[in-house]
């Protein structure tokens, strides 16, 4: 994978991953290059989507290789 920074920043998966990292508390004992801006601003991620599921072709490819659920729904833990 040889992407430049501009291409990487346009990638929706990269953007989602970054948002998740920005919303997580970072361990004080471990140095990190990510400043948890959302977490420090008391913002959190409530839900990524109401229902997450693997696409049918991906599910067929991985069946028997990994155990996965048909669907996953986010449950609020009261945070």
Domain ranges, ordered by start, for the chain: 5-48
Q: Assess whether pLDDT exceeds 50 at residue 24.
A: yes
C-alpha 45, offset from chain centre: 10
pTM score of the predicted model = 0.51
Express as a percent the part of the chain with pLDDT over 70. 73
Neighbours of 42 (CB within 10 A): 6
Q: Mean pLDDT over all residues of the chain?
A: 78
User: Would you state the pLDDT for residue 1?
Assistant: 53
User: Would you state the pLDDT for residue 46?
Assistant: 76
Which 3 state secondary structure label does DSSP give 50? Answer: coil
């Amino acid at each position: 994978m040889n992407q430049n920074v501009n291409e990487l920043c346009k990638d929706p998966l990269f953007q989602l991953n970054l948002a998740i990292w920005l919303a997580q508390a970072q361990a004080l004992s471990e140095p990190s290059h990510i400043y948890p801006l959302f977490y420090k601003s008391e913002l959190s991620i409530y839900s990524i989507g109401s229902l997450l599921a693997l696409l049918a072709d991906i599910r067929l490819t991985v069946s028997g290789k990994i155990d996965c659920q048909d669907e996953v729904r986010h449950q609020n833990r009261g945070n």
